[in-house]
């Protein structure tokens, strides 16, 4: 996760230099920092999917090099906690999604376009709002 983020924000060469100069973290410290950064990215990432319905909390984030998560939670009219999670698995030849842990489904044409746009906005917004960097997108 840290490697991916540094590559995006700083570029590959600067990330290589920085990671070579950084002291190695212990496993627990690294995992704590990684969770904190994912949480910050998830809050910003939620905004790229549009405004969440009233009473919903939303997260959208990149978990690792090939996994994206969109999660929403809310309380229904009967007072029961509800959640909806979509996991996107990005592969070289296809993007698969699993809704609430179900069977994987291939993204269709418009869904693929929407996902691509959301990921592009995510990288721009996260770089700017979480890491204080500007990103030029093509």
In this predicted model, what pLDDT tens digit does every residue of 32-74 receive, in sequence order? 888 888 899 999 999 998 888 888 999 999 988 899 999 999 9
Q: Is the pTM of this model over 0.85?
A: no
Three-class secondary structure of residue 87 per DSSP: strand
Whole-number pLDDT of residue 132: 86
Structural domains of the chain, count: 1
Give the Cα separation of 42 and 112 in Å (integer). Answer: 20
Task: Say if 33 falls within a structural domain.
Answer: yes
136 within domain boundaries: no
Would you state the pLDDT for residue 97?
A: 96
Which range has the worst mean pLDDT, 12-26, 50-64, 70-84? 12-26
Please check whether residue 94 lies inside any domain of the structure: yes
42 vs 2, more confident? 42
Is residue 12 packed enough to be buried (19+ CB in 10 Å), middle (13-18) or exposed (0-12)?
exposed
Which pLDDT score is estimated for 106?
97
Whether 98 maps to a domain, the answer reads: yes
Let me know if residue 77 belongs to a domain: yes
Q: Is residue 22 a part of any domain in this protein?
A: yes
pLDDT in the model for residue 131: 87
Distance of CA 40 to the CA centre of its chain: 10
Helix crossing, 2-10 with 27-46: angle to 10°? 50
What is the reported pLDDT for 9?
56
Q: Which domain holds residue 89?
A: 2-129
Average pLDDT value for residue range 88-113: 95
**DSSP SS3 for 90:** strand
61 found inside a domain:
yes
Q: Where are the alpha helices (DSSP H) in 1-138?
A: 2-10, 12-21, 27-46, 109-129
d(Cα 106, Cα 87) in Å, to the nearest integer? Answer: 12
In a domain? residue 58: yes
């Amino acid at each position: 996760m840290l490697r991916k983020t540094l590559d995006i924000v700083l570029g590959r060469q600067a990330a290589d230099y920085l990671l070579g100069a950084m002291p190695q973290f212990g496993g627990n410290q690294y995992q704590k920092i990684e969770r904190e950064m994912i949480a910050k990215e998830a809050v910003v990432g939620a905004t790229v999917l549009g405004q969440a319905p009233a009473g919903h909390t939303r997260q959208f984030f990149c978990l690792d090099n090939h996994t994206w998560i969109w999660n929403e939670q809310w309380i229904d009219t009967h007072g029961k906690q509800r959640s909806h999670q979509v996991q996107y698995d990005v592969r070289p030849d296809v993007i698969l999604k699993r809704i609430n842990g179900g069977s994987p489904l291939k993204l269709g044409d418009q869904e693929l376009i929407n996902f691509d746009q959301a990921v592009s906005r995510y990288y721009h917004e996260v770089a700017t709002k979480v890491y204080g960097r500007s990103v030029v997108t093509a």
